[in-house]
Structure 1
Amino acid sequence: MRKQLITGILLAFAVFSQAAEQLPLDKNVRRGKLPNGLSYYIRNNTQTPNVADFYIAQRVGSILEEKQQRGLAHFLEHMAFNGTLNFPGDSIKPGVVKWCESVGIKFGQNLNAYTSVDETVYNISSAPVTNMNIVDSCLLILHDWSHSLLLKDSEIDKERGVVHEEWRTRRSGMAVQRLMEDAAPVIYKGTKYEDCLPIGNMDIVDHFKYKDLRDYYAKWYRPDLQAIIVVGDINVDSIENKIKTIFGSIPTPVNPAERIYYPVNNNDSIIVFTAKDKEQPTVNFSIYMKRDATPRNEHNSVSNYEDSYKSKIIMKMLNDRLKEIVKQSNPPFLSSSVRDGSFFLSNTKDAFSSSMMCKQNNIKEGIAALIGELQRARHLGFTQSELDRAKSETLRFAQNAYNSREKKRNGHYVKMCLRNFLDEEPMMSAEDELKEVTKLNSEISLKDINSAVDNIITNNNEVVTIYGPDKNGFMMPSRSDIISCIKNAQSKKYEPYVDKGVSADLISGKIKAGKIVSEKEWKHGYRLFTLSNGMKVYVRPTNFEADRINLYAFSLGGKSLYPVSDMANLNYITAAIAESGIGDFDATSLDKILDGKTVKLSPYIGEETEGLKGYSNIKNMKELFQLAHLYFTSPRQDKSAFASLMNRQSEFLTNRDANPNVSYNDSIISILYGNNPRMAPIKKENLSLVNYDRIMQIYKERFADASDFSVILTGNIDMNTVRPLICNYLASLKGYKSNEQIKDNHVYIRDVNETHIFQKEQSTPSSLTSIFIKAKTEYNAENSLLIDVMSQILRMMYTEKVREEKGGTYGVSVNGELEKYPYAEALMKISFRTDPEKYQTLIPIIYEQLNILAKDGPSEENLNKVKEYEYKTYGQVKITNDYWNYIAYNQLFNKVDFDDNYLQRVKSLTINDIRNFAMKMLQPNNRIEITMKSK
């Protein structure tokens, strides 16, 4: 009896200990559950004032469909925007989309949804919440999505065409999508996952009975599988009370169907799926090693977090090794990476996976090299120096999150809540996460990490997929050859990995500092420093992002200063410099020395400018300036790295034209620019023209003179800290006052009125159309606003007329922009994809709506929708570093102030303004339509 009592006490203690070993939840998130089973998450976040995100998450997806319902989980998502109880879209009350856009919530941008295998999520993001009526309406929309979709016959029939066109869009030129669909029945044989991709079966989508959709909705959309998430500038108590009132009346489900998370089978022998597709340009290999997933109710445990920590460390070290291999002068594969997570489409099985892009003429060499590297890690482990770098990277992420904890956007917290509800993942505060990472960094040893590798890279339960091009001369290895190659590589012995040490400092020598010769206030809150070498530096301290500093340097000239004969070299300058490294460091060593540091900077040479773009946190601002100095003074010549780049490019370009979208884009450039050789695409036959010595010469020329560079610095900058950095690393650069300007090379879109229609074989029948319309116009802030507003209004018109009324396309893209060089003009691009049989029906509507806009202008309703969106969006962007960087750049480069009096300019826009601008765009009759149809 005493023994039984002790055993009982021990068991109770074990249960108590297990319960205690849970990760703490973010105390700033209020969680709750209504009596009907509906969960809710609410968090106040004032980072972006006056807006909030409203989400409804559902633990249901395409895996729950019955055979006759394939595709209906996703179809139902579409129907949520086509009539609900309180937003029916009739003559009395507006629909969801119309109401949302009337208050500045744009369809597709702020109003959206997605359906996956196991979950369905709807969102109303960036909703303006100063008006409580808007808050109530957003919650009412979530209520209707939960329980009150109308699902009218007529609306269902209209949406069939839209979903079918979404299917076409996802598959056209996307061979991997089709290959994944073909792979699923093989790698999931005998399970529910054989046929579960959300897009579904188009024969069912086109012809399903209305009852099948309503049955799915009634069975699975219910409060015990749903959660409401509200994050933003809101009162938590008020929102909680509203949720209880609005959602509490939804009835508790009676005898609900069990929500099953379907299992995935184990396999003793390797499952191999290989397939070829005429539109697949490369050979893609993946190997998965499955293992039982951690039970959902243990996802938030301390032990699971420790396992995840170890896994992330191992993935980081393995990926670094694979990147090193790719940089060899003649690497065995073109690219490769590893990950550890859910298996393929299913989250009931975890898997370590490794993927690579193979050389087409030697797939087995690539497989052997990849598997060999995995086995080296499995049997011999990692080194202490690798682990130290990986730990520093892990700590860096946690420290950055902590430092910016008061400046996180709503979406960050929404994602935390989503994953907690849908997968029971941890939902820790930044403070608690930093504590956990710091603790694990100090406790986890190299021995612990090396012991964990064997639990991840198991060599068991293996699944292999290989996708390749269907073309003459390409041979896919047989199943037996693939298995033999893998087994041979797994049975070999390997030498230990040798980690080359790196210096601790980016710049070891002493630099002769320059001076700041003048300092004064500039525009938009920036302060202008003129340096002794002539360089101008514009600095704006902000607190928009707690731990971020942006750097953007540019000068005039770019590719425009070089002849056509240099185009092949110009196309590879940025890649060649990145592959070669800088100063004393090759690319691999540079990556190592920057591990654990939040800093990134890259050079670029564009059409009209050259420069540097990057960022750092406060702690690593010195390294940001050091990198800038080195990119000016010390580009590194590494012929082995360049040979590696060219070898990979040659292989990658071998089959570039297999994707019909590539051929289409080539045709667009050729037609628009009249075969101008400066605009010719990069092709394999042109690689012989690329000369590394000439590349280095051009690069050094572009960065030889610091005097004509402008540098824009925006972020959490302390002026006393930044001044010496400016003097040491920027003012010290050489300046010659060369004053280069952009050269006009006569690269123009032709002034013509033409229609080009051609045919190309496509695996998924499709018609792809792009229309380019241009007109000369002054480059100023007013015209920039007009073309943007015109584009937004046209999207609305096409959504209504082409997508909703005709079901003719998944969407019509409209993009307008102003160009200043080589001369000022406005350019608009309208593009859409559809069934080839529908092209003749839709194309007149496209032009008809354009002409209506130019003749009558927009409806007042549509113009007001755009205005509301612009008012709201301006409030969001003006508190970001990127926005002010954009404003400063355009002030300097284009001599235009896009911020000046912006809201007043939006407010004063009239129907006539848009009509006149549309008329101005159409009058010159400069229109080029390019359509590619299936053969």
Structure 2
Amino acid sequence: MAMSAQTLPLDSCIRKGKLANGLTYYIRHNDQTPGQADFYIAQRVGSILEQPEQRGLAHFLEHMAFNGTRNFPDGNGGKHSVRNWCERNGIKFGADLNAYTSIDQTVYNISNAPVSKAGVTDTCLTILHDWAGSLLLKDNEIDQERGVIREEWRTRRSRMAAQRMMENAMPVIYAGSKYADCLPIGHIEVVDTFHYDTLRDYYQKWYRPDLQGIIVVGDIDVDQIEAKIRKLFSDNPMPIGAPQRTYYTVPDNKEMIVYTQADNEQPTLNFSLYMKHDAEQRQSRDTREAFLSSYKSRLAMFILRQRLAKLSHEAQPRVMSANCRVGNFYVTTEKDAFALNLGLMPNNPQVGIDAAIEIVEKARRYGFTAAELEHAKVQHTVNIEHRLDNKNKTRNAEYAKNIVSNFCNNEPCMNIEYEAALEAEFSATVTLDDINKTMAEIVDNQNQVCIVFGPTKYDGKPYTMPTSDQLKTWIESAQQREYTNDNTAQQVDPVFMKKLPKKGKILSKRATDNGYTEYVLSNGIKVSARHSDIEPNRLTINMFRLGGRSLYPDTDAPTLQFLNSVVKESGAADFDFLTLEKKRRGKALRVVPYIDAEEEGVKGVCVASDLKTWLQIMYLYLTNPRKDKAIFQNMITKQQSMLRNRNASPNVTYNDSLRVAVYGKRKRTQPLTAERMNEVNFDRIYQIYNERFSNLAGMHLIVTGDIRQDDFDDLLCQYVASLPGKRNSNNDCKPGQYTLNIQNGQVTKVFHKQMITPSAQTNIVYSAPIAYTADTDLKLDVLSQIMRGVYTEKVREERGGTYGVSVDGQFWKYPTDGCSMTVSFRCDPDKYDELLPLIDLNLQRMATEGPTIEQLQKVKEYERKNYQRAVLTNGWWEYVRYHQLREGIDFNRNYLQKVDSLTTDDIRQFCRQLTAPGNRIQVTMK
């Protein structure tokens, strides 16, 4: 580190300290969510420190933290367990109580703890203390957890072929390094057979105070928390002769390393090219110099990504996708790299590599333009200004995440005012020459590593992957080719509308429920506006009307599938999508027109001061969508390429089967195939789009957040009331006759498909014609949460049979009221027959006996606590208003009273209602 390096200051609101035994602590008061706090323990320990006989034990140990500690000796879910205490206090396992293991760190968290309740703060600290040095690691609990880890391994490998290929690539791309074999999931044979003491040795060796950080953020008294930490954690001894924590390096390579692999379950051809660089030394990562370097890299990558985006809009696409970044080399924080990531067209991969490298090479050799740099600076400034606006509304988890990065990786952890001032200074002083030099340093065509994952079949025939030699030749040839500097990018005119539409009128205005004001406009649109400073300078916007795809027959299904993406990517008025992005220079907003299954409209967010621009873009999309045949052809060609191998992934086959089983076999539920792509009609897309939006009467526009009252009414008249609409057009705004509905009766479909990692994947859908009300919706939610806990206990923990059982409930209003509960899990095929009966058995038991008082009380605690957090977001209030307008249901009214009044018999009776009709659809793929 240079002598002149200036260390960036730690956020002044954070109290950082260190105990005599080496333990570090961070405490920050944050009252964004009153009465709640987050508790973390971060360990500078991960799978990189394992010996060969310990591969997978860092991650295994993380699981064991929930299976018995000194003060909570029971296994996961037992009466005296960490999980049981947390859930009794509304801290849900998985959502609030969790942990993760990476290569270099292991982090545990107790989030959204209700510290306003007596004793919660002390108990959370006790749990962290137990995790730090008092895990019991009982023989029987270790053996029981082996099955859970096996199923986590199975789930990861079954879901994505890329996970398996990544494991195989590591020894090649990290040859000669500890990283050659270091992924946290480890070796399953070690997980199955390791001796108990091997895990205990790892724990005692690495879980120690000098590598541990305690983090507490929330509505707490900093002085009190500090005193408690000092008293509680000072007794953890630092082991004598403890080994040094080593951070391993990655060797350089003169010759390009190329790794290719084909997999039967990989549907696409994915290309990644890395150029490795030395990472910033750990001790200097929190310096001004490192932050400046990062700022320049971010600007360069922003511009380069914009140039690469043009490849996604060619009529004859040369790539499926193109992106780039600068950061960690693959999985390590100890080596940086520039990464160029491409989705290649399997029938001509070289042309895609050539196209992308040409863009990168021109940027490397000739740099960027002043207009491109200015645009990048402005967009970065907008992002940090948004964070600055919300400095008092930042959630505990965001602060905790930054502190973990500071403790584990010495990343800067400044307060937002200091960071904003620093970026403003850099923005004013960093020149185009600086960015061009940065680009040339980042992309130096040295130290290169190429990784290509691809399919074994394409278009029904065996696919021949490019060889390593071919790839190396293509890349180096493209990098050495002569290119002319043909980029003359200039700033685009920021004006969206040179001629404004004729204003409409506000006919009436009244206060309505939940703090909203309802406007009735002259064109038949109704506006619901709720002003709040919950999220300063931010608006969430949702315009919708019932109807959507359900109004169109099955013959239009292929066209409807492409409508949203074609319209959005084609742009509006005379501006293509990329031009629209550039025209909104300095403005933070997102505008997304859509036609979904049962409704149509526009969704988005924006900075409050940019509402005018948001409304202008919305107006252009609705009244003047741009027809771009090149964009359409681009999407069709790419989709046809993907469809030629779509069934390579077993998950695709499974989802196709599930959809048909649930909704019936009809053209609308059939998967899109390469042959059916010919049915997608460009003109029909815009015919349907214009039909849906030519008369906007009956639309509801919900605007929630920091509404600037001084010009809001005028903006509504100018851009919303002026939209085409016939106020008395008798638009009843209901879904049409083609709405999908879950089939009644019993359906069981079990089918077999060859898999590289064998598994049995199951979904069971229970449904019933229950009236959709706020009460029944709450009961379904509570039942789903209770059953999730039951299945976690009975299937995951007791049997070690699955990584997790998902339970999701859903209500609907159309075509008739009804609800469903879907239970899904993945397991070893050999355990399927043992586990499957537990799903029905435990649900029927719930319908007969109901939950215990304790089971219900746990969910009630979580619901109360979650509601307190939800009401502090714009999203909650928009959700409430949306459903009030859509279904006539007010989810906010007397919510806590509804939760408090729920009884175990309410849940039992609801479960009986759900199961009584006998509607059960099961789809299993083995």
Residue 579 of structure 1 contacts residue 645 of structure 1 at CA under 8 Å; is this kept in 2? Answer: no
1:94 deviates by 1.2
Residue of structure 2 in register with 1:824 after alignment? 817
Select the residue among 633, 646, 653 that pairs with 1:663.
Answer: 653
Report 1:71-82 matches (<5 A). 71-82=56-67
Name the SS for the 1:160 alignment partner.
helix
Name the SS for the 1:679 alignment partner.
coil
Report 1:618-657 matches (<5 A). 618-657=608-647
Name the SS for the 1:200 alignment partner.
coil
Task: Identify if the C-alpha distance between structure 1 residues 286 and 22 changes in structure 2 by more than 3 Å, giving closer, same or farther.
Answer: same
C-alpha separation between the residues in 2 aligned to 1:744 and 1:524? 33
C-alpha separation between the residues in 1 aligned to 2:520 and 2:813? 27
Residue of structure 2 in register with 1:8 after alignment? none
1:93 deviates by 6.4
Does 2:208 correspond to 1:212? Answer: no
Task: Identify if the C-alpha distance between structure 1 residues 286 and 907 changes in structure 2 by more than 3 Å, giving closer, same or farther.
Answer: same
Residue of structure 2 in register with 1:36 after alignment? 21
Does 2:468 correspond to 1:482? Answer: no
Residue of structure 1 in register with 2:565 after alignment? 575
Residue 312 of structure 2 contacts residue 321 of structure 2 at CA under 8 Å; is this kept in 1? Answer: yes
Name the SS for the 1:787 alignment partner.
helix
C-alpha separation between the residues in 1 aligned to 2:291 and 2:908? 58
1:552 deviates by 0.3
Report 1:513-592 matches (<5 A). 513-592=503-582
Residue of structure 1 in register with 2:117 after alignment? 131
Select the residue among 205, 210, 223 that pairs with 1:237.
Answer: 223
Report 1:454-469 matches (<5 A). 454-469=440-455
Name the SS for the 2:119 alignment partner.
helix
Residue of structure 2 in register with 1:7 after alignment? none
C-alpha separation between the residues in 2 aligned to 1:43 and 1:132? 20
1:746 deviates by 6.0
Residue 494 of structure 2 contacts residue 585 of structure 2 at CA under 8 Å; is this kept in 1? Answer: no
Does 2:274 correspond to 1:274? Answer: no
Name the SS for the 1:406 alignment partner.
coil
Which letter does structure 2 place at the counterpart of 1:912?
D
C-alpha separation between the residues in 2 aligned to 1:536 and 1:681? 37
Select the residue among 280, 287, 292 that pairs with 2:278.
Answer: 292
Select the residue among 588, 603, 613 that pairs with 2:593.
Answer: 603
Residue of structure 2 in register with 1:762 after alignment? 755
Residue of structure 2 in register with 1:918 after alignment? 911
Name the SS for the 2:259 alignment partner.
strand
Name the SS for the 1:869 alignment partner.
helix
Which letter does structure 1 place at the counterpart of 2:673?
K
C-alpha separation between the residues in 2 aligned to 1:143 and 1:604? 50
Select the residue among 28, 32, 49 that pairs with 1:47.
Answer: 32
**Unmatched 5+ residue regions in structure 2?**
none
**For residues 698-748 of structure 1, what are the alpha-carbon distances to aligned partners after superposition, in whole Å with 9 as ceiling and x for unaligned?**
111111112210100000112222111111100111112431432233632
C-alpha separation between the residues in 1 aligned to 2:206 and 2:673? 51
Task: Identify if the C-alpha distance between structure 1 residues 92 and 333 changes in structure 2 by more than 3 Å, giving closer, same or farther.
Answer: closer
Does 2:103 correspond to 1:117? Answer: yes
Residue of structure 2 in register with 1:776 after alignment? 769
1:539 deviates by 0.3
C-alpha separation between the residues in 1 aligned to 2:587 and 2:163? 37
Does 2:678 correspond to 1:685? Answer: no
Report 1:87-166 matches (<5 A). 87-89=72-74, 94-166=80-152
**Unmatched 5+ residue regions in structure 1?**
1-10
1:766 deviates by 0.2
Residue of structure 1 in register with 2:355 after alignment? 369
C-alpha separation between the residues in 1 aligned to 2:878 and 2:912? 33
Residue 406 of structure 1 contacts residue 546 of structure 1 at CA under 8 Å; is this kept in 2? Answer: no
1:24 deviates by 2.1
**For residues 605-633 of structure 1, what are the alpha-carbon distances to aligned partners after superposition, in whole Å with 9 as ceiling and x for unaligned?**
11111011101012211111112211221
Residue 168 of structure 1 contacts residue 766 of structure 1 at CA under 8 Å; is this kept in 2? Answer: yes
C-alpha separation between the residues in 2 aligned to 1:676 and 1:128? 50
Which letter does structure 2 place at the counterpart of 1:786?
K
C-alpha separation between the residues in 2 aligned to 1:180 and 1:595? 39
C-alpha separation between the residues in 1 aligned to 2:677 and 2:305? 28
C-alpha separation between the residues in 1 aligned to 2:473 and 2:48? 35
Which letter does structure 1 place at the counterpart of 2:392?
E
Name the SS for the 1:234 alignment partner.
coil
Residue 173 of structure 1 contacts residue 762 of structure 1 at CA under 8 Å; is this kept in 2? Answer: no
Select the residue among 469, 479, 482 that pairs with 1:493.
Answer: 482
Residue 36 of structure 1 contacts residue 253 of structure 1 at CA under 8 Å; is this kept in 2? Answer: no
C-alpha separation between the residues in 1 aligned to 2:79 and 2:645? 54
Q: CA RMSD in A?
A: 1.3
Does 2:850 correspond to 1:865? Answer: no
Further displaced range: 68-77 or 493-502: 493-502
C-alpha separation between the residues in 1 aligned to 2:696 and 2:252? 62
1:683 deviates by 2.2
Report 1:197-346 matches (<5 A). 197-346=183-332
Name the SS for the 1:107 alignment partner.
coil
Residue of structure 1 in register with 2:897 after alignment? 904
**For residues 547-574 of structure 1, what are the alpha-carbon distances to aligned partners after superposition, in whole Å with 9 as ceiling and x for unaligned?**
2101100112111111111111111111
Name the SS for the 2:270 alignment partner.
strand
Residue 404 of structure 1 contacts residue 545 of structure 1 at CA under 8 Å; is this kept in 2? Answer: yes
C-alpha separation between the residues in 1 aligned to 2:112 and 2:717? 42
C-alpha separation between the residues in 2 aligned to 1:596 and 1:253? 54
Residue 676 of structure 1 contacts residue 747 of structure 1 at CA under 8 Å; is this kept in 2? Answer: no
Name the SS for the 1:252 alignment partner.
coil
1:500 deviates by 5.4
1:680 deviates by 2.0
**For residues 385-441 of structure 1, what are the alpha-carbon distances to aligned partners after superposition, in whole Å with 9 as ceiling and x for unaligned?**
110100111111111111111111111111110111011011111111111111111
Residue of structure 2 in register with 1:885 after alignment? 878
C-alpha separation between the residues in 2 aligned to 1:922 and 1:132? 40
Select the residue among 42, 57, 63 that pairs with 2:42.
Answer: 57
C-alpha separation between the residues in 1 aligned to 2:272 and 2:702? 43
**For residues 654-673 of structure 1, what are the alpha-carbon distances to aligned partners after superposition, in whole Å with 9 as ceiling and x for unaligned?**
21111001000000111222
Name the SS for the 2:251 alignment partner.
coil
Residue 67 of structure 2 contacts residue 81 of structure 2 at CA under 8 Å; is this kept in 1? Answer: yes
Residue 292 of structure 1 contacts residue 350 of structure 1 at CA under 8 Å; is this kept in 2? Answer: yes
> TM-score of the superposition, structure 2-length normalised?
0.98
> TM-score of the superposition, structure 1-length normalised?
0.97
Select the residue among 35, 49, 70 that pairs with 1:85.
Answer: 70
Does 2:514 correspond to 1:510? Answer: no
Does 2:797 correspond to 1:804? Answer: yes
Which letter does structure 2 place at the counterpart of 1:538?
S
Task: Identify if the C-alpha distance between structure 1 residues 836 and 714 changes in structure 2 by more than 3 Å, giving closer, same or farther.
Answer: same
C-alpha separation between the residues in 2 aligned to 1:87 and 1:876? 28
Task: Identify if the C-alpha distance between structure 1 residues 438 and 780 changes in structure 2 by more than 3 Å, giving closer, same or farther.
Answer: same
Which letter does structure 2 place at the counterpart of 1:686?
R
C-alpha separation between the residues in 1 aligned to 2:618 and 2:340? 35
Query: What is the number of residues matched between the two proteins?
Result: 918
Residue of structure 2 in register with 1:24 after alignment? 9
Select the residue among 156, 177, 181 that pairs with 1:191.
Answer: 177
Residue of structure 2 in register with 1:696 after alignment? 686
Task: Identify if the C-alpha distance between structure 1 residues 31 and 138 changes in structure 2 by more than 3 Å, giving closer, same or farther.
Answer: same
1:502 deviates by 2.2
Which letter does structure 2 place at the counterpart of 1:484?
T
1:844 deviates by 1.2
